[in-house]
Structure 1
Amino acid sequence: MRTYASKEELITEIKQRYQKYITEFDDIPEELKNKRIEEVDKTPSENLSYQLGWVNLLLSWEEKESAGVEVHTPVEGYKWNDLGKLYQSFYETYGTGTLAEQTQQLNEKVIELCDWIETLSDKELFEPEQRKWATTKAKWPLYKWIHINSVAPFTNFRTKIRKWKKLVL
C-alpha cells in the first residue's frame, strides 16, 4: 500500500485521484445510471453510491468517537466478512438521486474528508492506535484507512467506469 510523506501529500493525492474519477461521470446520460453490464460489477450509480458510503462511514467513525460514542466497524449490524449487504445498503441509501446529485454529494464529502485530514497531527495520521475505531490487529494508522477508502477506490473504480463507458456509450 502506498505511503505518504505528509498530510499535504495525502490530500493532494486524494484530490487528484478524485478529480480524474469524478469527471468520468460527466458524459453518462441519466437514463443509463442504473445500466448493468456483465463485464463490470457496478452500475454508474452503484459506483458513486459505494464511494459515498465509504467516505461517509469514515467520517462518521471519527465523528462518533470524538463525541464519545462507541464505534462499531464497519457499521452496526454489518460484519467485515459480509460486506455485500453493506454495499447493498449504500446503493439503497445513496442511489436514489440523479448522477448529478450523487456527484454533488460526493464532492461535498471529499471536501469534508480533506478538511478533516487537515486538522490531524502527523502523529494522529501516521502512527497506529490513534483512534479506537482504527485499532485492529493490523494496527493501521489513519492514513491507511483514509487511503483504502478514497485514493484506492477512486483509482480502481475509475478503470471500471471507463470500461463500462467503453462498452455502453
Structure 2
Amino acid sequence: MAIPNSKQELIDAIDGSYAKLLQELAQVPPSLARAPVLEGHVKGTRMSVCDLLAYLLGWNVLVLHWHAQLRDGRRIEDIAFPAEGFTWNALGKLAQRFYADYAELGMDALLQRLDVAKNQLLALVEAHDDAQLYGQPWYTHYTMGRMIQFNTSSPYANARTRLRAWRKTR
C-alpha cells in the first residue's frame, strides 16, 4: 500500500489495513491466542497473538496520549516521545511493556479495546484537515499524518503479515 499523503488516504489506509487484520485474526483458534507462537518484538523472544494485539493497542493508545497532552496545553517539545522512560532505539522494551500492560486481557477484550482506540484515532484524523495532517512537520521532520500512520495502518499491516506467515507454518 502506498504511503498516505492526504486525510482521505490515511483514513482509507487505517480502515483497510484494520479490516484485513481482523480477517486474519478471525482465523486464530482461541486455544492458541495466548500461546507464544510468533516472533517477538525483541530479538530471540516469542509472543502470543494476544501480545501482538497488546502491542497494537499500546501504540494506538500512546498516539492518543500524545494528542491529549497537546489538547491539555503541553508543547510538543515537552512530550516524551515515544513514551516516558523509553527511547526510539529501545522499542522492544516498550513492546514488552505493552504486553505486560494488557496481559490480563483475553483476545476478545483486546480486540474490543483496539477497535475503540482505532475509532478514536479515526475521529482524531477527521478533526484535522490535509494541511494540519500533512502540511508541516509535527514531530521532528514527520507530519502528524505520518506519525499516525506509523502507529496504525503500518503496524496493522505488519501484524497481518506475521499472522499469515505463522498460519502457513501450522
Task: Tell me which interval the TM-score lies in, with the shorter structure as reference length.
Answer: 0.7 to 0.9
Q: Alignment partner of 1:96: what SS? A: coil
In structure 2, the CA distance between the partners of 1:2 and 1:140, relative to structure 1 (3 Å rule), is farther
Structure 2 equivalent of residue 88 of structure 1? 96
The question of 1:35 aligning with 2:13 is answered: no
Structure 2 equivalent of residue 115 of structure 1? 123
Partner amino acid, structure 1, of 2:164: R
- Give the 5 Å matches for 1:64-75: 64-69=69-74, 70-75=78-83
Q: 1:58 aligns with which of 45, 51, 63?
A: 63
Is contact 1:95-1:102 (8 Å) kept? no
Structure 1-normalised TM-score? Answer: 0.87
1:88-123 deviation line (CA, Å, top 9, x unaligned) = 110011232110110111111111110110001222
Q: Percent identity?
A: 31
Q: Alignment partner of 1:28: what SS? A: coil
Q: Which runs of 5+ in 2 are unaligned?
A: 41-46
Structure 2-normalised TM-score? Answer: 0.86
Q: Alignment partner of 1:21: what SS? A: helix
Partner amino acid, structure 2, of 1:74: P
Alignment size in residue pairs:
161
Q: Which runs of 5+ in 1 are unaligned?
A: none
1:39-74 deviation line (CA, Å, top 9, x unaligned) = 633320111111001111111101111102331111
Is contact 2:136-2:143 (8 Å) kept? yes
